[in-house]
Amino acid sequence: MTARVGRAFVFGDGVNTDVMAPGLYFKEPMEVMARHCMAAIDPEFAATVRPGDIVVAGRNFGIGSAREQAPMALQHLGIGVILAESFGRIFYRNALNFGIPALVFPPASEIAAGDELRVDPVAGLVENLTGGRTYRVAGLPEHLMAMVAAGGLMPWLQQRIARGEI
Amino acid sequence: MSVTLAQKILARAAGRDVVVPGEIVTCNVDLALLLDSGGPRRIWPRLKELGVGVWDADRIVLCTDHFTPAVDAASAAILKLTREFAAEFGISRFYDMQGIGHVVLAEQGFLQPGMFACGGDSHSTNGGAFGCYMSGFGAIEMTGVVVTGEIWMPVPDTIRVNWSGDFTVGVAAKDIMLFLCRELGVENAGRAIEYGGNTVRSMPMNERVVLTNMAAELGAETGIVEPDATTLDAIRAAGQEPATDALDWRSDADAPYLSVHDYAAPALEPQVAAPHSPANSAPIGAFEHVSVDQAYIGACVGAKLSDLHMVADVLRGRTVARGTRLLIAPASNRVIAAATADGTLQVLTDAGAYLLPTGCGACAALGAGILAEDEVCISSTNRNFKGRMGALSAEVYLASPYTVAAAALAGRIADPREFLA
């Protein structure tokens, strides 16, 4: 798993999954749903985010509904890494299951919107290329490293089936 | 070594003698609950991609509730696909348009103390009221469960929450949970919430499930209540037989709780959570000036028979205020049948309530009763996130069925105790 470089989009505490994937658009295809991602708290987000950008958030990112469309919408918009002070439990699992590295990142408040970051999710190394600081946090959990490295749960299941483990 | 109930169940499911908080274990799944929302429509294409079927059709319970009844071509197609999935894989425990899955699962008596269960919806914690460990997951993870019958779990710390004494008039389990959302906060990943004390022991199952359902709002791994005679009676009343060891599934006397919280039910007032978080709660006095466009009784947490009884207690002989609408979406067909038989529905409609089909409805902006821009709703549901019930500028206040009914009568948030003398 290589390091990712991108611009930071910064969010506060308690961003819930209804905000990332509003129920009103559940029956729409993902390209429609993704246009409304975060609209309740940042109407410009979906239009301005670019592939490779990085979400930096406060506490309890992804609280609420189990809807997998929440990380899927972020992934559809090109978000490659999510850094948050802490995560809602189901969102965290969903994100890793889609192969999106999600790292617990306590110094999130030191990152400003637009800062260019370089993140190595395996080593837990976060470099703020704009601000010039480097942070060392816990990398991806050991028991999930192979699954995330494979690209997520689906490719991981494919590999396990091919090996005759399932 | 003394352990909590959550530890005992995960140890059993992982084939281990003992597990400790912080450990990651792989558990065998005893029961998987799939719903139309994150169920077949998201899982089936993945099974085709993998070229595999389900690990054990007899351990799957499938319900349609989020998109029922079909209101457009898209929801009709989702329901059709769900029915085809049940037929294709021989899911005999398929409940189509019978009510909200969490409620149907309880009505059918499929949950047993000591069981380890997974559901494809965050409010799957509801099932913990039966003394089992039940937790919610996304559809991608439920795909893994359906293929392998296994899932990785962090062994949680357990927080013990004791309530003692009787509620005063007009106070219910929902008020406990709105109080706990601000008291314990909504950031409890890695923790199980175990509820006890004589207030909880006195509760019927319909109220206990409110405590475990809204463990999801606390952000917890699960909520759980140790089984007792009430639990076993509910399983028998559903036509199932409790396991012989059912009452052995308890925390040890000196279990290592992360923390223990003791609260007095007689001191609890009706609670209201202001927009846009369940943690924005306060005693009702803080909100009595708020005008209400819509009062909504619905969802897994707030439209069971006991909830409709609370509403009827407040409405009986009175009329919903002009300019306010009261919408009621009962939680299941069985609830509708029972509320018809005992006269409750008559009380509701006499007061001017508008009855909606059973299902998840407006709670997540999927069914009838969603909100327009700038509208204010008071709701017996469990979430009031921005945009949750419709327009982004709509405001949702959460409260007990008593308090929602009182607001419908007054046209503003009102203390239900004024109507329950």
Contacts of A40 in chain B (CB under 8 A): 386-387, 392
- Whether a cis peptide bond, with omega within 30° of 0, leads into B69 is yes
Tell me whether A58 touches chain B (CB under 8 Å).
Answer: no
Question: Which percentage of chain A shows pLDDT scores above 70?
Answer: 100
With contact defined as beta carbons under 8 Å apart, do B178 and B282 qualify?
no
Tell me whether A113 touches chain B (CB under 8 Å).
Answer: no
**CATH class of the domain comprising A4-140:** alpha beta
Query: Do A166 and B147 lie within an 8 Å CB cutoff?
Result: yes
Name all domains of chain B by residue range, CATH numbers in brackets.
5-242+250-264 (3.30.499.10), 271-419 (3.30.499.10)
- Please tell me the distance from the alpha carbon of residue A61 to that of residue A75, in angstroms, as a whole number: 15
With contact defined as beta carbons under 8 Å apart, do A157 and B147 qualify?
yes
Query: Do A143 and B152 lie within an 8 Å CB cutoff?
Result: yes
- Averages of pLDDT over runs of 10 residues in chain B (421 residues) are 97 98 98 98 98 98 98 97 98 98 98 98 98 98 98 98 98 98 98 98 98 98 98 98 97 98 98 98 97 98 98 98 98 98 98 98 95 98 97 98 98 98 76
pLDDT, residue B412, reads 98
3-state DSSP call for residue B116?
Answer: strand
Tell me whether B385 touches chain A (CB under 8 Å).
Answer: yes
**What does pTM read for this prediction?**
0.98
The yes-or-no verdict on residue A1 having pLDDT over 90 is no
Short-list B371, B410, B414, B416, CA closest to B389: B371
Query: Do B386 and A60 lie within an 8 Å CB cutoff?
Result: no
Give phi and psi for B181, each to the nearest 5: -60, -35
Query: Do A66 and B390 lie within an 8 Å CB cutoff?
Result: no
Tell me whether A47 touches chain B (CB under 8 Å).
Answer: no
Query: Do A40 and B390 lie within an 8 Å CB cutoff?
Result: no
- Please tell me the distance from the alpha carbon of residue B25 to that of residue B29, in angstroms, as a whole number: 12
pLDDT, residue B131, reads 98
Query: Do A68 and B138 lie within an 8 Å CB cutoff?
Result: yes
Q: Which two tokens stand for residue B247?
A: 């009452």
Q: What angle do CA A55, A60, A65 make, to 5 degrees?
A: 95
Contacts with A96 (C-beta within 8 Å, 6 or more apart), sequence order: A102, A140, A144, A147, A148, A152
Flag whether the ipTM exceeds 0.95: yes
The yes-or-no verdict on residue A71 having pLDDT over 80 is yes
B387 to chain A nearest CA, in Å? 7
pLDDT, residue B372, reads 98
Residue with tokens 């009221």: B129
Contacts of A68 in chain B (CB under 8 A): 38, 42, 138-140
Tell me whether A98 touches chain B (CB under 8 Å).
Answer: yes
Paired strand residues for B271: B283
Query: Do B219 and A60 lie within an 8 Å CB cutoff?
Result: yes
Q: Would you list the domain boundaries of chain A?
A: 4-140
Q: Which two tokens stand for residue A164?
A: 């005759």
Give phi and psi for A119, each to the nearest 5: -120, 125
Following DSSP, what letter does each residue of B66-98 receive, concatenated?
A: TTPSP-SHHHHHHHHHHHHHHHHHT-SSEESSS
pLDDT band at A2 (very low <50, low <70, confident <90, very high): confident
